[in-house]
A and B are shown apart, each in its own frame.
Chain A
Amino acid sequence: MNTIQKLNEPVSDELALVRAAKNGDIGAFEELVKRYDRNVFRIAQHITQNREDAEDVVQDAFLKAYGNLTQFQEQSKFYTWLVRIAVNEALMKLRRRRPERMISLDEDVKTEEDSIPREVADWSPNPEQQYNQSELKQILSKTINGLPPSFRTVFVLRDVEGLSTEETAEALNLSIPAVKSRLLRARLQLRERLTKYFKRRDNGDGNK
């Protein structure tokens, strides 16, 4: 085995698994599942906002990936390709649950105004410590669920899952400027909404 190549090329380990899986090695594919199932579940739950749907998305996305492995172009990362499949599966679930609303990642939601900061109060030093773990999770989940799906998805891929702007653009089939614009607006809207919970309260009336 060529260990030197492995050190220089961290992706090659993943690529080796993908190639083995393409040749029918289910154990290698299971390794890829172990590597990314948590990420796919988080992304799916963020998009669908529903636990059962997220479970289905994990299964469907991996099965679709397995069934289409031969179509995977090795110049991009397997993970980015998998995320693309998972996002599509999750959006389909969301559309099925909310057929009355057209849900698309292409929509450039007209919420420019929502992104203009209104609340500029500083936060308390350790904002998350004002709440217990489950209260905090509830606040965070309620707040992010209030974003349009196209903003939510970009924020999750970039800021929660740590994909680069380019990878996010590839996974969502969006241009880089579109990813950047949605990310800025998502971040600002979340900040605005969280300020309600986390702003410094030690000055009596809060506002200076």
Chain B
Amino acid sequence: MNCSDFLKELTDYLDGVIDADTKAELDEHLAWCHNCFVICNTTKQTIEIYRDSELYELPDDLRSRLRSAIVQKCQKQKAEAHPEPEAKNTKA
């Protein structure tokens, strides 16, 4: 296995979705190839940093504003789709 073979498998390796034989080959490559070892580690850190970053969190006030707008529009949509309330079934 050379470095470019290693890179091709990197995503499956990091996601842990790789068969045992390929994993053993990749582990062996990592044991002696410092560059791939560093690339593997820093790629893993890249994923973790983004996963933990809370980069675009929805602030509470905006969240409730958006939610009430959505609910209001859904109610409007529902009213337009069903103008007759079901309660009017009683024929006197």
A63, B43: Cβ atoms under 8 Å? no
Chain A: interface size category: 35 or more
Asked if B32 CB lies within 8 Å of chain A CBs, one says no
**What's the minimum C-beta distance from A69 to chain B, rounded to whole angstroms?**
10
Q: How far is the CA of A186 from the CA of B55 in the complex (A)?
A: 17
- A26 cross-chain contacts in B, Cβ below 8 A: 71, 74-75, 78
Majority secondary structure, B binding face: helix
Majority secondary structure, A binding face: helix
- B43 cross-chain contacts in A, Cβ below 8 A: 187-188, 191
Query: Using a Cβ–Cβ cut-off of 8 Å, how many residues does chain B contribute to the interface with A?
Result: 38
Complex interface residues of chain A between 24 and 76 (CB less than 8 A to chain B):
24, 26, 29-30, 33-34, 37-38, 41-42, 45-46, 54-55, 58-59, 62-63, 66-67
Complex interface residues of chain B between 23 and 69 (CB less than 8 A to chain A):
35, 38-39, 41-43, 45-47, 49-51, 53, 55-58, 62-63, 66-67, 69
Q: How far is the CA of A142 from the CA of B86 in the complex (A)?
A: 53
- A55 cross-chain contacts in B, Cβ below 8 A: 62, 66
Q: Evaluate whether A159 and B51 lie within 8 angstroms (CB atoms) in the complex, with A120-B35, A188-B43 already known.
A: yes
Asked if A160 CB lies within 8 Å of chain B CBs, one says yes
Binding site for B on A (CB under 8 A): 24, 26, 29-30, 33-34, 37-38, 41-42, 45-46, 54-55, 58-59, 62-63, 66-67, 117, 120-123, 127-128, 136-137, 140-141, 144, 155, 159-160, 162, 165, 180, 183-184, 187-188, 190-191, 194-195, 198
With A63-B70, A191-B43 already in contact, 10 other A-B pairs whose C-beta atoms are closer than 8 Å? A26-B74, A29-B71, A55-B62, A122-B41, A123-B45, A137-B53, A162-B51, A187-B46, A187-B47, A195-B42
